[in-house]
Chain A
C-alpha cells in the first residue's frame, strides 16, 4: 500500500488505500450537479492560484516587467530568453550547482534513510520514542534548520569551536564563508532534516511486506544480505523510485534553507536556479526575467521527470507484487 501504485492507479487506489485494492465502492452513478458543486471550491482555487499563474508565467517571460521600473515595462519578445542563455553566466553556474546539490542530497538521504528505516523496523525497547525523536527534524522548517545549524557552525560560539580545541579544525574556522567547505556544510544541514523523509516512506513500505515472504526466504537459507537484496529491495522498488523522483523535485524547488543559510554565497557559490528566481522576485522585482528563469526551471523539471520515469521503468514491478 502507500506510495507505490498511487500515481498510476490513482483512479482505483486513492492513497492511504487501506481498503487495499478494493474497487471503488459502489460509487453512485452520475448525480448531475452535486459532485461538481462539492468540488467547486477545490477547482476554483486550483484554477485561480495554480493554473492561471502557470499561464501568466509564460506571458511575463516575454515582457519587460519590473514593478520598481514600470516605465520600461512592455513587450520584450525573446530578449529575456536570449539574455538568460547568452549573457548570464549565473544562469549556467546556478544550473550546474542545482544538479550537484539535488544529486548529492537525494543520494545521501536515500542511503541513510534506507538504513534508518531498516533499523527502525526492528523490534526494540523505546522504539516509539526513538522513532519520534529521529523523525522529528522532518517537521522542522528550512529557516529553523538554518537557525539551528548557524548556532552549530559559528566559529566563536559553535560546536565547531570544540573541534578546534581538540585540533580537528583550524581556530575560528567559518565553514559557511569558505568556498571549499560551504557545500558540505549546507549538505549536512539539509541531510539532518531530509533523511527522515525517506526513512518514513521506506519504513511504511517495509511494514507492508508479508511475513510469509521473509519466512520463506529464511527457510531457503537466506542470510540478512540476500534477504535484503532479493526480497526486501524488490518490494520497495516502486516506493523508492517514486519517492526519489518527488524528492528530487522537492530538493530542486525548496530554497528556504540555502536562502537563509548561505544566501547563495559566498559570492554566488551556492545559488540554485530556484534561489536565483526567488532573488529576482524578492530583491530585484525583475518579474519578466524571473519568469524566463522559471520557464527554464519548468522545462528542466519536466524533461528530467519524463526521462527518470522512462529509465526507471516505473510500475514494472517484479515478482510477487500484483
Chain B
C-alpha cells in the first residue's frame, strides 16, 4: 500500500482494536463470512464468463478445459470485435485527451481567479448532473445530424466529453487549488509568464490528477452504450458495447463468442480500475457519484 491509501488501522475498527484483538476469533468470523460470500457474488460471474470464453462451444465443463482460443478468433475476425475495439480505443483516447485539456483550463480559471458569475457557473455545473444523456438522446441526435456528424466517431467523443466535463472540471479545480499558488508566483517573480509558470510549475504537479481524471474519462466513454447505439449507424463505427448488444441480439446466441467479446470489453477497464480504485476511496468521491 502506498502512502495514498489510508493507514491500515483506522476508522471504526481502529479504536476498538485492543478489545478486538482479545476476542480476535469471533470478530474475524463476523468479518470473513460476509466478505467471502460477497467475494463469491462478485467473482463467480466473472469466472463464469472466463469459462465460457476459453472452453470449446461444445463443452459443458464448469472450468475452462480443454482450453481454446477459437471463440476469440471468431469474435475478433468474424464478428468484427477487432474494429469495435479499435473504435472504442479511438473514442476513449479522444475523450481522455480532450477532457483533460478542457477541464484543466476550466479548473485553473475556477481555482485561481475571482470573476463575476463564478458561483452561478459552479451551481450550473452541479445541476447538469440531473440532466443525463438518455433524456437528451433525441435533441442530440438532431444536433449531430445538422452538424453532419451522425455515424462519425467524433460525435461520440464530443458527447462523452460534454457529459463528463462538469464534474471533472470541479475536481480539477480542487486539485489545482491544492497546488500552492506561491509556487507559480515565485516562478513569475523569476520572469516566467503566467502561462509558462502554469506549464512548468503547476502542470507537472498535477500528474496524479490527470491520471485519475483520464482513467475515469476513459472508463466512462468505454462503457457508453446509448450514444453509440443512437449516433453510429454503420457496423464499422460500432464501439464494443454496441457490438456486444449486437451479439446478444443474434437469432441464436453463441455463448462462447458472447463471453469472449465480453472479456475483450472487460479486461481493459478492469485493469485500469484496479490501478486507480485507490483514488476513488481516497477522495475522488464526487467523481464516483457519477457512477
Residue in A28, A143, A281 whose beta carbon sits within 8 Å of that of B241 in the complex: A143
Contact bitstring A137-155, B, C-beta under 8 A = 1, else 0: 1111111101111111010
**What would be 6 A-B contacts, judged by CB atoms less than 8 Å apart?**
A10-B122, A16-B171, A46-B125, A139-B219, A147-B258, A250-B132
Which residues of B lie under 8 Å from residue A31 when comparing CB positions? Answer: 113, 115
User: Is there an interface contact between A42 and B165, defined as CB atoms closer than 8 Å?
Assistant: yes
CB-CB contacts below 8 Å: A104-145 with B? 112, 115-116, 118-119, 121-124, 127-128, 130-144
CA–CA, A30 and B138, complex, Å: 40
User: Is there an interface contact between A144 and B262, defined as CB atoms closer than 8 Å?
Assistant: yes
User: Is there an interface contact between A3 and B138, defined as CB atoms closer than 8 Å?
Assistant: no
> Is B273 part of the contact surface with A, judged by Cβ < 8 Å?
yes
Check A148/B225 contact, CB under 8 A, given A119-B35, A140-B266: no
Contact bitstring A198-228, B, C-beta under 8 A = 1, else 0: 0011011111010100110110000010011
> Is A91 part of the contact surface with B, judged by Cβ < 8 Å?
no
> Is B191 part of the contact surface with A, judged by Cβ < 8 Å?
no
User: Is there an interface contact between B109 and A144, defined as CB atoms closer than 8 Å?
Assistant: no
CB-CB contacts below 8 Å: B196-255 with A? 219, 222-226, 229-230, 241-242, 244-245, 248, 253, 255
> Is A53 part of the contact surface with B, judged by Cβ < 8 Å?
yes
> Is A186 part of the contact surface with B, judged by Cβ < 8 Å?
no
Check A151/B259 contact, CB under 8 A, given A53-B139, A135-B277, A278-B226: yes
> Is B69 part of the contact surface with A, judged by Cβ < 8 Å?
no
User: Is there an interface contact between A133 and B248, defined as CB atoms closer than 8 Å?
Assistant: no
User: Is there an interface contact between B170 and A48, defined as CB atoms closer than 8 Å?
Assistant: no
> Is A187 part of the contact surface with B, judged by Cβ < 8 Å?
no
Q: Using a Cβ–Cβ cut-off of 8 Å, how many residues does chain B contribute to the interface with A?
A: 125
Interface window among A81-89, A294-302, A314-322: A294-302
Check A148/B49 contact, CB under 8 A, given A141-B225, A206-B11, A254-B291: yes
User: Is there an interface contact between A10 and B43, defined as CB atoms closer than 8 Å?
Assistant: no
CA–CA, A10 and B134, complex, Å: 26
What secondary structure prevails in chain A residues at the interface with B? helix
CA–CA, A130 and B280, complex, Å: 15
Closest 10 CB pairs of A and B: A214-B15, A141-B223, A15-B286, A53-B139, A139-B273, A16-B174, A35-B113, A2-B285, A38-B109, A147-B262
Query: In angstroms, how far is the closest chain A Cβ from the Cβ of B16?
Result: 6
- Report B's interface with A, CB cutoff 8 A: 1, 5-6, 8-16, 19, 28, 31-32, 34-35, 38-39, 41-46, 48-49, 52, 60, 62, 102-103, 105-106, 108-116, 118-119, 121-126, 128-143, 158-159, 161-162, 165-167, 169-171, 173-175, 177-178, 180-181, 219, 222-226, 229-230, 241-242, 244-245, 248, 253, 255, 258-259, 261-262, 265-266, 269-270, 272-274, 277-278, 280-291
CB-CB contacts below 8 Å: A31-56 with B? 31, 34-36, 38-39, 41-43, 45-46, 48-50, 52-54, 56
> Is A25 part of the contact surface with B, judged by Cβ < 8 Å?
yes
User: Is there an interface contact between B181 and A131, defined as CB atoms closer than 8 Å?
Assistant: no
CA–CA, A215 and B94, complex, Å: 49
CA–CA, A28 and B5, complex, Å: 33
User: Is there an interface contact between B38 and A134, defined as CB atoms closer than 8 Å?
Assistant: yes
User: Is there an interface contact between A254 and B110, defined as CB atoms closer than 8 Å?
Assistant: no
> Is A90 part of the contact surface with B, judged by Cβ < 8 Å?
no
User: Is there an interface contact between B281 and A204, defined as CB atoms closer than 8 Å?
Assistant: yes
User: Is there an interface contact between A143 and B14, defined as CB atoms closer than 8 Å?
Assistant: no
User: Is there an interface contact between B49 and A128, defined as CB atoms closer than 8 Å?
Assistant: no
Q: How many A-B residue pairs have CB under 8 A?
A: 368
User: Is there an interface contact between A205 and B62, defined as CB atoms closer than 8 Å?
Assistant: no
Check A138/B273 contact, CB under 8 A, given A38-B105, A260-B245: yes
Name, among B121, B135, B242, the residue most crowded by chain A CB atoms within 10 Å (CB to CB). B135
> Is A96 part of the contact surface with B, judged by Cβ < 8 Å?
no
Query: In angstroms, how far is the closest chain B Cβ from the Cβ of A219?
Result: 9
> Is A93 part of the contact surface with B, judged by Cβ < 8 Å?
no
> Is A184 part of the contact surface with B, judged by Cβ < 8 Å?
no
CA–CA, A18 and B280, complex, Å: 13
Name, among A7, A42, A128, A291, the residue most crowded by chain B CB atoms within 10 Å (CB to CB). A42
Which residues of A lie under 8 Å from residue B48 when comparing CB positions? Answer: 148, 151-152, 159
User: Is there an interface contact between A3 and B285, defined as CB atoms closer than 8 Å?
Assistant: yes
> Is A79 part of the contact surface with B, judged by Cβ < 8 Å?
no
User: Is there an interface contact between B113 and A52, defined as CB atoms closer than 8 Å?
Assistant: no
User: Is there an interface contact between B165 and A45, defined as CB atoms closer than 8 Å?
Assistant: yes
User: Is there an interface contact between B137 and A214, defined as CB atoms closer than 8 Å?
Assistant: no
User: Is there an interface contact between B266 and A28, defined as CB atoms closer than 8 Å?
Assistant: no
Check A19/B12 contact, CB under 8 A, given A136-B42, A144-B266, A294-B135: no
User: Is there an interface contact between A135 and B273, defined as CB atoms closer than 8 Å?
Assistant: yes
Query: In angstroms, how far is the closest chain A Cβ from the Cβ of B174?
Result: 4
